[in-house]
Amino acid sequence: MVNIYLDDCRKTPAIYDIRTYTVEETIDQLIKNKGNVEFLSLDNDLGEGLAEGYKVLDWLEEEFYINNFPLPKIILVHSANSAAMMRMNSVISKLYKGENK
């Protein structure tokens, strides 16, 4: 199992095997490690001109419901943006409730 950490500036905690800086890198790692992701930790605000971390959840939600893409065991949000964090946690909650679809 691997742990993926998406952030543009924070130091990567020791428990994470893979560090990504963009939504695209994160999605690539989710695909590469399909079904083998234990922890996924997401930041939202990744820098001017870059897609927000929320977009990883948009992608994951679509892939989960349409293509039965396996969810990481745990998805965490570590964003300082409280509004984005609430929105992201809402999607995460919905995903795990839908896991028994």
Please give the structure tokens belonging to residue 69.
Answer: 């893409």
pTM score, whole prediction: 0.94
Cα–Cα distance measured from residue 6 to residue 39, given in angstroms and rounded to the nearest whole number:
11
Question: What digits encode the pLDDT tens for the residues 72-101?
Answer: 999 999 999 999 999 999 999 999 987 655
Q: Cite the beta strand spans of the chain per DSSP E.
A: 2-6, 18-20, 37-42, 74-77
Question: What digits encode the pLDDT tens for the residues 47-77?
Answer: 999 999 999 999 999 999 999 999 999 999 9
Give the HSE-up count for residue 28: Cα atoms under 13 Å, Cβ half-sphere: 8
